[in-house]
Every structure is written in structure tokens, then in C-alpha cells.
Amino acid sequence: MRRYSLFALAREALRGHTGWGRAWGAAAPRAAYDAIIVGAGGHGLATAYYLGRNHGLRNVAVLEKGWLGGGNTGRNTTIVRSNYLQDASAAIYEKARSLFETLSQDLNFNVMFSPRGLLMLAQTEHEVRGYRRTAHANALQGVETAFIPPARVRELVPAIRLEGPRYPVLGALWQARGGTARHDAVAWGYARACAAMGMDIVENCAVTGIRVANGAVTGVETTKGPIATRRLGLVVAGHSSVLAGMAGFRLPIESLCLQALVSEPVKPCLDVVVMANTVHGYISQSDKGEMVIGGGTDGFNNYSQRGSWHHVEETLRALTETFPMLSRLKMLRQWGGIVDMTGDRSPILSTTPVDGIFVNCGWGTGGFKAIPGSGWAMAELMATGAPGPLAAAFTLNRFREGRFIDESVAAGVAH
């Protein structure tokens, strides 16, 4: 892999940018691998990367039915934060957030991590109490957050209307080191680093079946032929139930459509991320100047990546109340992604009923921020066969044991 650097940029500038190679090769799958990851989203690619980097496992393939990062990783609104309530969540999300701080250097790829600060507005008394509690929990977890009064919210977000007719802003949970990152770059950066370690990233290669013998995985069937492996990671977000079905088990997952939209680009006017969970809307401004807007999920099971218009309307109605200036903006694009929802709104990192098959799913509406930490924990799980400290709480048996990691009560919207 040729390293990207100021020197490389200067050299290429002098010779007309003719020397940049492909960031990762277009691999044809080999007959067998030590480990196969299904799904080249952020979580699958990060899993492969840390398998190689932390555990020395490099005979690895990542199989992707479409194009790399074309799932939720390329469809999300890129919020990065770690102000969760439960200790297990704080541990893995803060691990991820702290890895984001140096990810561009680690991957030698600019992921444009922008810790611009993040606010979660408290717009009911219930939320005020909830966020105060979260701030206390975060202090004990070593995650730096603070509950701030309305006057401070006004300083951070001059465009906000504090005295909304229905939901006045009563304060906010502030995480100064939260922010955003470039979603595609995260996928591309991990892919390039994986390819540099000799791993195969195979796009346009859908897994259509899973081979199991005597309760253990022996390989996968794909649209590019069968491939053997004894270690298989299913990291396919909204398609997790489909892949689990191929291996003969069910998951506590439902697939729903989550939509987002962006406005026409405007001059810089919002330099933090603002989430308003009571009214189900959140907003940040991209480097291009677009307002990036998201809301809650649609209500019914859906694999179509097409959501319902009334959810877009609800989100915008709520946000224009808090940001009246938005009402004059034209919206440019809208899209949907299929998110994998669990009952407790926490992810699953786990062994499965089939030996050698591991799942990493259930990140639902909020897994972009977790990509580095999730890959780290999943790689440990796949390399050793057992969950390490980051993953231990997130195993599948928590549902049987009633050991929920309840973030759905902690936050209405969880992006």
C-alpha cells in the first residue's frame, strides 16, 4: 500500500496525479479462508481490520453483496457520541469514540472525524431528570459530559428557539468530544487497510447459503461459488435475520426503515450536533453546508429502503419548531436504510447456536459511532471464540437471562 502523505500529494501534483493506485483491489474469492466476514459495512470491515491488526489473522475475506459501504454505513447521519446510560454501552461506545480520535492516523486515511460537540436537548421535565442522571452516570464511567442550562444552549446554538410553543428547551446534555465523521471514508479507510494486510474484499458477492456439519460451520455458498471456512462472522445489520435463517436459527431482531434527508447547502450556521429526542429530530451541518436531518424509524418491518413520507413530515415539523430558520430551506435528497432493532435497543455481539458462527448486529439506528469499538470487540470474539470484556454484556443469552442493556428507556431516539 502506498502511504498517503503531504510528500505523496506533492509528488502526485507534480506528475498530474497519474500515480495513485487503487485503494483496495477487486478480489476474486479463493477456495478457503481462516475467517470470513459477511457484510462490508463499517462493522464488518473494522472486524476484519482488528482481526489482522490485533490478532494476526490475515487470511480473511469480507464478502459484500452490493458495493462496499452501500448499506447503513453509507446512509447514516454520522453522529458520534458516547453519552449512554448503561455501563456496558458507555464502555464500548467510548472505546469507539476514543479510537475515532486517532483513526485517520491509524488507517492513514482521512475519516474527517470532527469532534465539534453534541447537544441532546431536554424539552420535558422527564428529560431534564433523565439527562441529569445520564451526566452522573457518565461521570462515574469516565465519559465527559455535562448538563447545561438554556443560556449555555443559546451560546452554543444561536439559531435555536428556546421558547418553543410545545417543547421549550429546558437544558441539554452536552458532550464536547462528540461530533461527526465522514461515513464513506470510514468504510474506505478500513477497506484499504485490510487490503494492505492481504485480505480479500469481494464486492458483488452475496452469501446465499451457510454450510453446517455436525453443528459447526464449514463454509458459505455465494453468487461467486462456495467458499470454505470454520470461522464466520455475520455482520449484515438489517439482513441479520436472513443470514441467521440460512444457518437455522432466529434472532431477536426486527428490520425497520430509518430515513434521513439533507437540505440545499447554505452558509455555515450550525457548528455543533443538536438532537431533540422528545420531538424525534436531530440536525447537523455538513462541510458542504447541507443540513443533515434525521428522525425516528417507521413502524413496520421493511427491507425496501423506502420509508413513509409522514415520518419525514413529522421530523421536519418538529425541527422547524426549534429551528424556525429551517422552514425556508429546500430539502434536496431523502433516503432510507434498513436498521436491525433489538428489544432493548442494544447491539448483539455473540456466539450463536452454530459453532464457528458469530454475530455482530442489532446496532439499529445508532451503530455508525460504534464501528471502531465494535470491530475491536468482534475481532476478539472471533479470534478467541469467546467474548472479551467489551462484548461480554452483549451476548445473545442476555435475552433468556433477562439481562437487558436498556437504552430504549434511556433515550427515545438513539442515533
Partner 1 sequence: MLMLTCPACGVTAEETEFAAGGEAHRRREGPGSSEEAFEAYLFARANPRGVHLERWRHAFGCGKWFHAARSTVTLEVFGTYPADLGAPPEAILAAIRARAAGGEGGR
Ligand X SMILES: Cc1cc2nc3c(=O)[nH]c(=O)nc-3n(C[C@H](O)[C@H](O)[C@H](O)COP(=O)(O)OP(=O)(O)OC[C@H]3O[C@@H](n4cnc5c(N)ncnc54)[C@H](O)[C@@H]3O)c2cc1C
Residues binding ligand X (CB under 6 A):
38-44, 63-66, 70-73, 75-79, 206-207, 235-237, 239, 243, 258-260, 294, 337, 339, 363, 365-369, 415
Beta carbon nearer to ligand X, 20 or 67: 67
Q: With CA atoms as reference, report the closest residue to 49 among 370, 385, 371.
A: 371
SS3 assignment, position 134: helix
Length of the chain equals: 415
Q: Is 343 in the site for partner 1 (CB under 8 A)?
A: yes
CA distance 27 to 200: 6
Picked from ligand X, partner 1, none, the partner binding residue 381 (CB below 5 to 8 A depending on kind) is none
DSSP characters over 28-65: PP-SB-SEEEE--SHHHHHHHHHHHHHH----EEEE-S
Q: How far is CA 354 from CA 217, 388, 408, in A?
A: 7, 19, 29
Q: How far is the CB of 371 from ligand X (least distance, A)?
A: 7
Beta carbon nearer to ligand X, 104 or 365: 365
Q: Is 299 in the site for partner 1 (CB under 8 A)?
A: yes
Beta carbon nearer to ligand X, 233 or 387: 233
CA distance 110 to 243: 32
Instruction: Return the residue of 158, 248, 303, 332 that touches partner 1, per CB under 8 A.
Output: 303
SS3 assignment, position 128: helix
Q: With CA atoms as reference, report the closest residue to 77 among 227, 279, 258, 231.
A: 258
Beta carbon nearer to ligand X, 141 or 365: 365
Q: With CA atoms as reference, report the closest residue to 129 among 85, 76, 192, 68.
A: 85
Picked from ligand X, partner 1, none, the partner binding residue 253 (CB below 5 to 8 A depending on kind) is partner 1
Picked from partner 1, ligand X, none, the partner binding residue 214 (CB below 5 to 8 A depending on kind) is none
Beta carbon nearer to partner 1, 77 or 395: 395
Picked from partner 1, ligand X, none, the partner binding residue 302 (CB below 5 to 8 A depending on kind) is partner 1
Hey, which residues between 252 and 281 contact partner 1 (CB under 8 A)? 252-255
Picked from partner 1, ligand X, none, the partner binding residue 284 (CB below 5 to 8 A depending on kind) is none
CA distance 321 to 97: 31
Q: Could you tell me how far CA 9 lies from the centroid of its own chain?
A: 30
Picked from partner 1, ligand X, none, the partner binding residue 309 (CB below 5 to 8 A depending on kind) is partner 1
Q: How far is the CB of 241 from partner 1 (least distance, A)?
A: 4
**Contact partners, residue 414, CB within 8 Å, separation at least 6:** 345, 364, 365, 366, 407, 408
Picked from partner 1, ligand X, none, the partner binding residue 337 (CB below 5 to 8 A depending on kind) is ligand X
* Interface stretch with partner 1, choices 39-47, 147-155, 274-282, 303-311 (CB under 8 A): 303-311
- Is the distance from CB of 130 to CB of 172 less than 8 angstroms? no
Beta carbon nearer to partner 1, 155 or 401: 401
Picked from ligand X, partner 1, none, the partner binding residue 399 (CB below 5 to 8 A depending on kind) is partner 1
* Interface stretch with partner 1, choices 130-138, 275-283, 302-310, 384-392 (CB under 8 A): 302-310
- Strand 146-148 relative to strand 118-122: parallel, antiparallel, unpaired? unpaired
Q: How far is CA 44 from CA 22, 37, 374, in A?
A: 20, 6, 9
Q: Is 399 in the site for partner 1 (CB under 8 A)?
A: yes
| Binding residues vs partner 1 (CB under 8 A) | 239, 241-242, 245, 250-255, 299-304, 306, 308-310, 343, 399-400
